[in-house]
Amino acid sequence: ATVVVTGANGFIAQHCIAALLKHGYHVVGTVRTASKADLVRKTHSSHPSLALVVVEDITSAQSYLAVLRPMSPSAILHLAAPFHYNAADFEQDLMIPAVRGSTAILEPAAEIKGVRRVVHTNSFACIYDAAAGPRPDKTYTARDWSPLMYRDGVQASNAPTAYRASKTAAEKAAWSFMEERKLGFDLVSLCPSMVFGPFLPESKPKTIEELNTSNLLVWSVVSAGQSSAVPPTKGPVWADVRDVADAHVRALGVPEAGGGRYLLCKDVYCNQELADVSRRVTSKYADRIPVGEEGRRERHTHFGVDASETERVLGIRWRGLEDCLGDLVPQLFEIERNQ
């Protein structure tokens, strides 16, 4: 079977491609430029089952259709969307690519006969109500919805809010598309929390500045300096990128997952915990990692999460922080050393 992966050069997408190839799928990755196609090819050692195509504009259904129709895919993983907080114009830079991109990939899925399933990489941002503040008594599940609307993203006072609105509006647009038309495929929505974890060897960023947004959160903690304070926790829910990729592959193979929404989350965390675990598993860099108030936990002061439905339906088991940070943190210090 052939699976399309949009935004193939992205942090999570690269792991999805590795997992798909391992499971024997043929993969067609879409990227914005030829040089990004080369990078993805190199990451997967020019695997014979991997093809890359350039789609410059992810909001153009016609561009997708032209390049994807000849590939006869049976499924699509849609990961391409901006995830950064340095947008100058929230509507142009975040809302439009996320929201129009979300439906632009559904048009070719409707046109190409063999497509049976589309998996959208949405987010915990589509679930979480940031404006409600800390809610220690609240347990978020995939049945919760962020209250943010499109206009909240356009008028947001900060980029994280605009990003959360872009993801929420994009997911809503996709479900509306599915409701309005009689289609030959179904949709699965995956909602990952902050995704941490190692880069595949050839896809490591060259500089710290190029780090993807979620791993940058880890870097901001572990590079703070031994005697500095641990920065305040922002994310506070996480999953390992390899488990997130596994969930994408499983979402293709489980028929009853169709029409469902799944929270991808190992657990809540706090930055003191990231620092403590990183110091323990990467002692070589202990002089860089803040000691802070070792052992202090504020894990459940924000809210709780329950992803047991995901574990049940998709059969996911989550890696722990030790595994995740043990593989990621040395890579981050290497990137810094070699930049």
* Residues of the shown chain interacting with ligand NDP in the complex, contacts defined by CB under 6 A: 7, 9-13, 32, 36, 58, 79-83, 97, 121, 123, 167, 192, 194-195, 212, 214
Nearer to ligand NDP among residue 168 and residue 282 (C-beta): 168
Nearer to ligand NDP among residue 16 and residue 115 (C-beta): 16
Nearer to ligand NDP among residue 240 and residue 273 (C-beta): 240
Instruction: For residue 7, give the nearest of 90, 74, 106, 82 by alpha carbon.
Output: 82
Residue 139, number of CB atoms within 10 A of its CB:
12
The answer to whether 69 and 138 have CB atoms below 8 angstroms apart is no
| Shortest Å distance, C-beta 9 to ligand NDP | 5
DSSP, residue by residue, 30-90: EESSHHHHHHHHHHTTT-TTEEEEE-S-TT-HHHHHHHHGGG--SEEEE------S--SSH
Q: Whole-angstrom Cα distance, residue 336 to residue 290?
A: 17
The answer to whether 5 and 79 have CB atoms below 8 angstroms apart is yes
- Residue 337 — left, alpha, or beta (φ > 0 → left; ψ -120 to 50 → alpha)? alpha
Q: Give the CB-nearest residue to ligand NDP.
A: 10
| Shortest Å distance, C-beta 113 to ligand NDP | 26
- Residue 289 — left, alpha, or beta (φ > 0 → left; ψ -120 to 50 → alpha)? beta
| Shortest Å distance, C-beta 238 to ligand NDP | 8
Instruction: For residue 191, give the nearest of 239, 137, 250 by alpha carbon.
Output: 239
Nearer to ligand NDP among residue 36 and residue 302 (C-beta): 36
| Shortest Å distance, C-beta 14 to ligand NDP | 8
Nearer to ligand NDP among residue 110 and residue 194 (C-beta): 194
- Residue 45 — left, alpha, or beta (φ > 0 → left; ψ -120 to 50 → alpha)? left
| Shortest Å distance, C-beta 157 to ligand NDP | 20
Nearer to ligand NDP among residue 292 and residue 332 (C-beta): 332
| Shortest Å distance, C-beta 331 to ligand NDP | 15
Nearer to ligand NDP among residue 127 and residue 292 (C-beta): 127
- Residue 310 — left, alpha, or beta (φ > 0 → left; ψ -120 to 50 → alpha)? alpha
| Shortest Å distance, C-beta 286 to ligand NDP | 26
Q: Which residues pair with 100 in a beta bridge?
A: none
| Shortest Å distance, C-beta 323 to ligand NDP | 17
Nearer to ligand NDP among residue 7 and residue 260 (C-beta): 7
